Chain A
Amino acid sequence: MPKVTFDTDSCKGCGLCVEACPKHILAIAKDKINKKGHSPAEMTDQESCIGCAFCATMCPDCVITVEK
């Protein structure tokens, strides 16, 4: 099953991954703040993930690692 890992403290909350995800299963965690003061992106439904890596492709900060 595809697995997506977030290096949460590197995330700047830009939202490009959320926009890119074809399954719409990523979101900005509005109630959380990382070490940089940003609200980071997070996975909301890992089971629906198809491992397309569109999120990682659009991420400017190499926050996301995708395994299949």
Chain B
Amino acid sequence: MVVFERPHSLAKVPLHYCPGCTHGIIHRLVAQAIDDLGIEGNAIGVAPVGCAVMAYNYFTCDMIEAAHGRAPAVATGLKRADPSKIIFTYQGDGDLASIGMAETVHAATRNENITVIFVNNAIYGMTGGQMAPTSLPGQVTQTSPYGRDVSMAGYPIKVSEMLSALDGPEFIARVAVNNVKNVKNAQKIIKKAFENQVNGKGFSLVEVVSSCPTNWGKTPSDALKWVEEEMIPYYPLGVYKDKSAEKEGE
């Protein structure tokens, strides 16, 4: 009996990501959620600009490539055109929290019934390791070579905390994939984010604290240690908003 194999919704093609890049794990979790909910034939995914730009090749459902940051707007169009489709975006920290911040906030506040997967690895990977809006104070990147100076560059954006302050969105959660326990929890949360859409509940975003071994200059294992020791304390894991659970509690 097979207890672990590749999900059907993950295309049988080699991933181009760096060795040990957490994109691979997160893609698998998304594909598994799609499989578990039986929505492969109904799903349409929106790929970002970033390392995951070719995500359109990695999922077996219909896919579209969005302009940098605009995935939530593209997803809004897709969902409004046919609400019976399950629409998801897959975005990095530049895409979602820098150039696309307006689209992110407004899709959340409109409670668009879509699922947003936010891969936060505190750096711009594809373009060679520049500072991201989620780069930590003091973090050395190509465009903060002396460490992020908060007096010049400001403080990192805590997306989950920020969006959960809005009345609009249904579900905001932050997970990580740095160890088996967190990966299994991330799986549950990502599935819930899709399930919410299937049940018509509304905007569900999962922020996944991730690593970038190549641009952090670390081995894959050391990069995951840095996630645990430096990133998670700054970006605590948890469910930040769950409107349906709050309603039930009343």
Contact = CB atoms under 8 A, between A and B. Distances in A.
A touches B (Cβ under 8 A)? yes
B23 interface: yes
Given A54-B180, A57-B180, A60-B25, A12 B2 contact: no
Contacts of B19: 12-14, 38
Given A10-B14, A20-B180, A60 B22 contact: yes
A60 B221 CA distance: 12
A12 B14 CA distance: 11
A26 interface: no
A66 B2 contact: yes
A62 B10 contact: yes
Contacts, number: 69
A57 B24 CA distance: 11
B43 interface: no
B208 interface: no
Interface string B86-117: 00000000000000000000000000000000
Contact of B23 (A10, A60, A62, A67): A60
B158 interface: no
A65 B2 contact: yes
B17 interface: yes
A61 B4 contact: no
Contact of B4 (A12, A13, A15, A53): A53
Interface string B1-43: 1111110001000110111111111001000000000000000
Interface residues of B, number: 28
Given A15-B221, A16-B220, A66-B4, A58 B10 contact: no
Nearest to A11: B19
Given A15-B20, A60-B21, A61-B15, A68 B1 contact: yes
Contacts of B28: 60, 62
A58 B19 CA distance: 12
B179 A60 contact: no
A38 B220 CA distance: 14
Nearest to A53: B4
B183 interface: yes
Nearest to B177: A58
Q: Could you say which of A15, A53, A57, A60 has the most chain B C-beta atoms within 10 Å of its C-beta?
A: A60
Interface string A35-68: 0001000000000000101101111111011111
B131 to A, nearest CB: 24
7 contacts: A61-B14, A62-B28, A65-B4, A65-B6, A67-B2, A67-B3, A68-B3
Given A54-B180, A60-B22, A66-B5, 13 more contacts: A10-B14, A13-B19, A14-B19, A16-B221, A51-B3, A58-B180, A59-B24, A62-B10, A62-B28, A65-B6, A66-B2, A66-B4, A67-B1
Interface of B: 1-6, 10, 14-15, 17-25, 28, 179-180, 183-184, 213, 219-221, 224
